[in-house]
Amino acid sequence: MTLVTLDELREAQKRIAGVAVRTPLMPCPWADAEGRSLHLKPEGLQPTGAFKIRGAYNRLAALTAEERARGVVAQSSGNHAQAVAYAARALGVKAVIVMPDTSPEVKIENTRSFGAEVILVAMHERDTTPADLVAEHGYVWVPPYDDPYIIAGQGTAGLEIADDATALDLDLQTVLVPVSGGGLISGVATALKLTMPGVRVIGVEPDLAGDAAESFRAGERRAWDFADTHRTIADGLRTNSLGVLPWEHVQAYVDDIITVSEDEIRAAVAVLARRGRLVAEPSGAVTTAAYLYHADELPGSRFAAVVSGGNIDPALLARILAV
């Protein structure tokens, strides 16, 4: 299986210019401790509130005229859904989005607000329904992570990290990236290993959805039941296995994958809001949780963490901050 190349990452960077925000590397003096320092990449600043716009726009912008006329279908718990809907509206393409009926209401509403047709299904039907719609209507399927254009688009975040670390004269040693289906960590790891080969890339996921960590330890791609991964508060990380293509990239470029607890995720959401002045959804806060509470598992002293999104239900954020 062919891995995404640096040229493909650069092409994606050109396609998304002016659409995706070039998010900064933010210093976090409040997180400095025992010679360790942290910079955050706040992808919640994207127009759809998460990194997914990078891959979604890159994929749709590469469609042929015939493919655009057919329309697209995607499945997502929320962030890919919003990104595909946003990109489709910008490019004049019809979008149908299949979402679990347990998706946060804010993500469902946002997806509809961008003009997409939303179909709510049971969680176990999320990944099978798009194939039925492709067969029935001829839509082009835009997968959330198992696609080279998606991976290359997400990898533009890694190119930005590398460029900004150089500009800041930052001796960056370790980059923490959330893991779900693996599109983000595949792209970021590829970008970093091809431009800053000495940097370690470590994935982070919830204990309750630890399929990627288990796969990494076992050396083979493993799947968990949706009933298990659905337990975590991090709704964007409930995918039950790494994608086939992401797994190849993880094996090639990722140095480790660790897990964090639900309490640590909640605490990180609160810390990011109170100290970092950032709204982060639980899925985006896992990397900060790893930095704050798993120092013994993380090599290096100069860290960057991707905060992948900020689409948290306001009521949930209020409950977390009330503790």
Check: CB of residue 234 under 8 Å from CB of residue 265.
yes
Strand-pair category, 95-100 with 117-121: parallel
CA distance 275 to 220: 39
C-alpha atoms less than 13 angstroms from C-alpha of 26 in its C-beta half-sphere:
20
- Quote the Cα angle for 25-265-215, to 5°: 90
CA distance 142 to 16: 16
Residues recognised as catalytic: 52, 308
CA distance 264 to 261: 5
DSSP SS3 for 145: coil
Cβ contacts of 18 within 8 Å, gap of 6 or more: none
CA distance 311 to 306: 15
Q: Which amino acid is at 65?
A: A
* Placement of tokens 């100290």 in the chain: 275
- Going from the C-alpha of 305 to that of each of 26, 139, 290, 308, the distances in angstroms are 10, 36, 9, 9
Token duo for residue 39: 């910079």
Cβ contacts of 129 within 8 Å, gap of 6 or more: 75, 98, 119, 121
DSSP SS3 for 140: strand
Per DSSP, 296 falls in state G
Token duo for residue 279: 């709204």
Q: Which amino acid is at 92?
A: G
Give just the sign of the alpha carbon dihedral 119, 120, 126, 129: negative
